[in-house]
Chain A
Amino acid sequence: MTTKSLYKSFIIEEYQLEEEPYYVPIGDEVELFEAAYKQKLPLIFKGPTGCGKTRFVEYMSYKLGAELTKVLKNEADDSAVNLPLVTIACHEDLTGSDLVGRYLLEGDQTVWLDGPLTRAVKAGGICYLDEVVEARKDTTVLIHPLTDHRRILPIEKRGELLQAADGFLLILSYNPGYQSALKDLKHSTRQRFVSIEFDYPPIDLEAQIVEHEAGVDKDTAYQLAKLGAKVRNLKEHGLGEGASTRLLIYAGQLMAQGIAPRRACQVSVNWAITDDHSLQQSITEIISSIFE
Chain B
Amino acid sequence: MTDKLKVLKHLLPELEKFPVPVKDNFNKAIVEMPDALSDEQTSDWLKRGIAIAGQTVRSWEAAAHFFQVSPNVISSMPYSYFVRWMECGASLCEESPTLAAAYFEASPATMSKLRSRHIESWAGLGDGLYKGTWKSSTLACRFFAESSTLLESLSFQQLENFANFLDALSHRSYDLSSECLTLGEQIFPLVGDDKDAFLSLATTLVDTGWREVKSFFEAGAKALPKIHPEERMRFLKLAESLVNNGGTNIPGTMLDISQSLSLLEEDNHHIVLGFAEALLDEEPLAMPEFIKSAPIILEKLTILQLGRWYQEGVNTLSQNRDGGLAFFKIESSHSEAVIETLSSGIEFDRIKPVMEMYCRALAGAEIKLSPTDALVEKNIGWVSNESPTTEGSTVFVPTLVDRYGTKEENYAWFKVVSTHQVAHLEFGSFIFEFERESGLFENLRLDLEARRIKALRENQNNEPVVGDDIADSDSPGNELNESHTGLERAWLTDMQRFFDLFEDRKLALDIFTVVEDGRLDARVKNEYPGIKSSYNQVQSDSHENRPDIKELPAREAMVEFMVRLSLQQYEGVVAPSKYNKEASQVAQIARRVLVSDATVEDTAEATLRIYAIISAVPNEEIPPDDWNDMDFDDEDDEDYVDPEDMENLLQQIGMGMEMELRPEGEEEYESIQEVEYRGDFKPELAQLMTELRMQQQDEMGQSQGEPLTQEQLQELLENSAELDLQATEGEIQESSGMFADNIMKEAGANMPQSPDDSQGPFVHVDEEGGELEPAEPETFVYDEWDFRAEDYKPRWCVVRQKMMQEGDTAYFGATLNEYSTLVTRIRRQFEMMVPEMFRKERKLIDGEDIDIDDVIENMVDIKTGSSPDEKFYWRRNKVQRDVAVAFLLDTSASTAEAIDEGKNKQDDWDAPDDPVEYMVWLRTRRGEQMRRSYKRIIDMEKESMVLLINALEAIGDTYGIYGFSGYGRENVEFYTIKDLHENFSDKVKRRIDRIAPLHATRMGPAIRHAAYKLDKTDARTKILFLISDGRPQDRGYSREGVEKEYAVHDTKKALDEAKRQGINSFCLTVDKNGHDYLKTMCSDMGYEILDDINDLPERLLVLYRRLTM
A interface residues (Cβ-Cβ under 8 A, vs B): 92-93, 97, 102-105, 108, 110, 137, 180, 182, 223, 226, 229-231, 233-234, 237-238, 262, 278-279, 281-283, 285-292
Contacts and interface: CB of A to CB of B under 8 A. Distances in A.
A158 B353 CA distance: 61
Contacts of A103: 853, 856-857, 860
Contacts of A289: 358, 362, 415, 419, 528, 530-531
B552 interface: no
16 contacts: A93-B840, A102-B853, A104-B856, A105-B859, A223-B529, A230-B361, A233-B365, A234-B361, A278-B353, A279-B357, A282-B355, A285-B354, A285-B355, A285-B358, A289-B419, A292-B530
B357 A237 contact: yes
Contact of A287 (B419, B530, B856): B530
Interface of B: 353-358, 360-365, 415, 419, 527-533, 837-838, 840, 852-853, 856-857, 859-860, 863, 1018
A84 B365 CA distance: 44
A110 B863 contact: yes
Given A103-B853, A223-B529, 16 more contacts: A104-B856, A108-B863, A110-B856, A230-B362, A233-B362, A234-B357, A262-B530, A278-B353, A279-B357, A282-B354, A289-B362, A289-B419, A289-B531, A291-B530, A292-B530, A292-B532
| The 3 A-B residue pairs with the shortest CB-CB distance in the complex, in nearest-first order | A282-B357, A233-B364, A289-B528
Nearest to A279: B357
B531 A92 contact: no
Given A110-B863, A223-B529, A292-B530, A286 B358 contact: yes
A286 B362 contact: yes
Contact of A110 (B361, B533, B860, B1018): B860
A281 B529 CA distance: 19
A152 to B, nearest CB: 22
Contacts of A108: 863
A231 B529 CA distance: 17
Contacts of A290: 527-530
Contacts of B364: 229-230, 233
Nearest to B855: A105
Nearest to A288: B530
Given A278-B354, A282-B354, A233 B529 contact: no
A237 B360 contact: yes
Contacts of A182: 837
Given A102-B852, A105-B856, A286 B863 contact: no
A102 B857 CA distance: 10
A92 B838 contact: yes
Contacts of B419: 289
A105 B358 CA distance: 60
Contacts, number: 82
Nearest to A104: B856
Contacts of B853: 97, 102-103
A181 to B, nearest CB: 10
Contact of A180 (B528, B859, B1018): B1018
Given A226-B527, A282-B354, A288-B531, A233 B360 contact: yes
Nearest to A227: B361
A286 B361 contact: yes
Query: Which secondary structure characterizes the binding site on chain A?
Result: helix
A290 B355 CA distance: 15
Contacts of A238: 357
B530 A234 contact: no
Nearest to B356: A282
A101 to B, nearest CB: 11
Nearest to B362: A230
A80 to B, nearest CB: 37
Contacts of A281: 354
A73 B364 CA distance: 52
Contacts of A278: 353-354, 357
A182 B531 CA distance: 45
A10 B444 CA distance: 72
Nearest to A238: B357
Nearest to B852: A102
Contact of B361 (A233, A291, A292): A233
A281 B354 CA distance: 6
A38 B838 CA distance: 39
A97 B853 CA distance: 8
A289 B530 CA distance: 4
Contact of B360 (A92, A229, A234, A262): A234
A279 B357 CA distance: 7
Contacts of B859: 105, 110
Contacts of B415: 285, 289
Contacts of A233: 360-365
Interface centre among A137, A229, A286 (most CB of B within 10 A): A286
Nearest to B365: A233
Contacts of A231: 361
Contacts of A223: 529
A285 B1018 CA distance: 29
Contacts of A292: 529-530, 532-533
B211 to A, nearest CB: 53
A230 B863 CA distance: 64
A233 B531 CA distance: 19
Interface centre among A104, A137, A230, A287 (most CB of B within 10 A): A230
B534 to A, nearest CB: 9
Nearest to A137: B837
Contacts of B527: 226, 290
A285 B860 CA distance: 64
A105 to B, nearest CB: 6
Nearest to A278: B353
A226 B527 CA distance: 9
Nearest to A265: B530
A292 B535 CA distance: 12
B358 A282 contact: yes
A282 B840 contact: no
Contacts of B353: 278, 282
A155 to B, nearest CB: 13
Contacts of B363: 233
A287 B358 CA distance: 10
A229 B355 CA distance: 17
B530 A283 contact: no
Nearest to B838: A92
Nearest to B363: A233
Contacts of B1018: 180
A92 B591 CA distance: 61
Contacts of B532: 292
A65 B852 CA distance: 36
A291 B529 CA distance: 6
Contacts of A226: 527
B269 to A, nearest CB: 39
A282 B856 contact: no
A229 B528 CA distance: 13
A6 to B, nearest CB: 14
A234 B357 CA distance: 7
Given A92-B838, A110-B856, A289-B419, A283 B361 contact: yes
Contacts of A283: 357, 361
A218 to B, nearest CB: 14
Interface centre among B415, B531, B837, B860 (most CB of A within 10 A): B531
Interface centre among A237, A282, A292 (most CB of B within 10 A): A282
Nearest to B857: A103
B528 A282 contact: no
Contacts of A237: 357, 360
B993 to A, nearest CB: 30
A200 to B, nearest CB: 13
Contacts of B355: 282, 285
